[in-house]
């Protein structure tokens, strides 16, 4: 799954059933800072920490308990590798260019 940042700055969650990957994809370079300001903050090495609950909201599936549980399970499994912070309810993602 990935956060899509469109050239106009709008964001959406795409490929939401893919619980094996998580990233941010920019259509236009350097749009992440402004587009993600309300749901996250810049981290080191072209990464962002994102509010995990905001990602759930972007999915449009917050009432789908099976999907929500799979999402949180994905985050729990990625925490030992530094890609989530369960206590802070954050997920870390790198930025790619489309």
Quote the tokens at residue 44: 């080191």
3-class secondary structure for 1-57?
Answer: CEEEECCCCCEEEECCCCCCCCEEEECCCCCHHHHHCCCEEECCCCEEEEEHHHHHH
- Residue-wise pLDDT for 41-83, tens only, equals 999 999 999 999 999 999 999 999 999 999 999 999 999 999 9
Contact, 91 vs 28, CB < 8 A? no
pTM of the model: 0.94
Q: What local confidence, expressed as pLDDT, does residue 24 receive?
A: 98
Q: What is the total count of domains within the chain?
A: 1
Q: Which domain holds residue 9?
A: 2-97
Quote the tokens at residue 83: 């890609």
Q: In whole angstroms, what is the distance from residue 8 CA to residue 28 CA?
A: 9
């Amino acid at each position: 799954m990935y956060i899509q940042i469109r050239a106009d700055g709008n964001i959406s969650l795409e490929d939401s059933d893919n619980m094996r990957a998580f990233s941010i994809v920019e259509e236009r370079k350097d749009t992440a800072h402004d587009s993600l300001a309300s749901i996250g903050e810049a981290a080191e090495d072209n990464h962002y920490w994102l509010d995990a609950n905001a990602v759930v909201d972007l999915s449009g599936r917050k009432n789908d308990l099976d999907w929500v549980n799979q999402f949180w399970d994905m985050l729990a499994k990625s925490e030992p590798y530094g890609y989530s912070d369960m206590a802070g309810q954050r997920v870390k993602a790198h930025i790619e260019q489309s």
